[in-house]
């Protein structure tokens, strides 16, 4: 019984493999093999493969949502009318938490998020819970308050754009340079998105 916690080992292995090869491209056998567990361990601990997926997703998403929520609380306690830049920082920042240079888990988690957001498979599409929805609602409301002249549909479009940018790590088409240092990506994203969210409404 050398393994400390089979359940956790399974979650780690699954997160790695899902990010690397996608949900459908990862077999239970590959997961249990990497986790040093028996084939039946997934069925025992999680019930099925998709329930394991949901557990993995929850483990990735929850701390991000919590940080987004806490960040907004902190922001509103400091000032009643936060700037667009403040909101962007509070919303997008947590996506880059724990992505220190040299640490591969950050990049892997980023890939995982991209996979979650963009995978067309049915199993990937039901990852939001009440908590996530509530936090997103709050941010939508705050952005609407900070940019009252922006029509709602265009605001929604821009928020979708934010989500997309914060999760691009996977598209390494232009990533010909050295691995991005420390939290440079985070600050670049905030610059990028603050400018984008601050743009005047598109004229009709």
Site string for a second copy, 25-64 (x = CB under 8 A): x---------------------------------------
Q: Considering only 27-35, 88-96, 171-179, 190-198, which stretch makes contact with DNA by CB under 7 A?
A: 27-35
What number of CA atoms fall less than 13 Å from residue 98's CA on the CB side?
Answer: 12
Q: Does 1 engage in binding with DNA (CB under 7 A)?
A: yes
Q: Which residue has the tokens 């960040």?
A: 71
Residues numbered 115 to 134 that lie near a second copy (CB under 8 A) are: 115, 117-122, 128
Q: Which is nearer to DNA, 45 or 138 (CB)?
A: 45
Q: Is 189 in the site for a second copy (CB under 8 A)?
A: yes
Give the one residue of 27, 48, 83, 191 binding a second copy; rule: CB under 8 A: 191
Q: Which span (44-52, 54-62, 98-106, 109-117) binds a second copy, by CB under 8 A?
A: 109-117
Please state the separation of Cα 153 from the chain's center in Å. 23
**Under a CB-based contact definition with an 8 Å cutoff, are residues 115 and 169 in contact?**
no
Of 67 and 165, the one with the shorter C-beta distance to a second copy is 165
Which of the choices a second copy, DNA, none does residue 29 contact, using the CB cut-off of 5 to 8 A by kind? DNA
The single residue among 3, 83, 160, 182 that binds a second copy, judged by CB under 8 A, is: 160
Distance (Å, whole) CA 201 – CA 133: 26
CA angle 132-73-198, nearest 5°?
Answer: 80
Gap between the Cα atoms of 72 and 68, Å rounded? 6
Q: How does 146-166 read in b/e, with b if 16+ C-beta sit within 10 Å?
A: bbeebeeeebeebbeebeeeb
159 closest CA partner among 102, 197, 116, 121:
197
Q: Which is nearer to a second copy, 2 or 200 (CB)?
A: 200
By CB under 8 A, residue 163 contacts a second copy:
yes
Please report whether residue 121 would count as binding DNA according to CB under 7 A. no
Alpha-carbon gap, residue 131 to 137, rounded angstroms: 10
């Amino acid at each position: 019984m050398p393994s400390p916690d089979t359940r956790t080992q399974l979650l780690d292995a699954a997160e790695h493999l899902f990010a690397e090869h996608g949900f459908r491209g990862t077999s239970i056998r590959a997961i249990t093999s990497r986790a040093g567990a028996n084939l039946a361990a997934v069925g025992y601990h999680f019930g099925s493969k998709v329930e394991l997926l949901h557990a993995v997703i929850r483990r990735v998403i929850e701390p991000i949502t919590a940080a987004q929520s806490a960040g907004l609380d902190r922001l509103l306690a400091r000032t009643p009318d936060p700037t667009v830049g403040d909101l962007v920082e509070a919303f997008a920042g947590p996506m880059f938490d724990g992505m220190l240079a040299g640490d591969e888990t950050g990049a892997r988690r980023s890939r995982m998020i991209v996979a979650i957001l963009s995978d067309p498979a049915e199993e990937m599409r039901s990852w939001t819970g009440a908590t996530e929805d509530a936090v997103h609602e709050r941010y939508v409301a705050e952005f609407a308050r900070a940019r009252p002249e922006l029509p709602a549909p265009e605001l929604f479009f821009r928020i979708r754009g934010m989500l997309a940018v914060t999760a691009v790590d996977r598209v390494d088409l232009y990533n010909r340079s050295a691995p991005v240092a420390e939290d440079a990506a985070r600050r670049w994203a905030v610059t990028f998105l603050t400018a984008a969210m601050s743009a005047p409404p598109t004229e009709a």
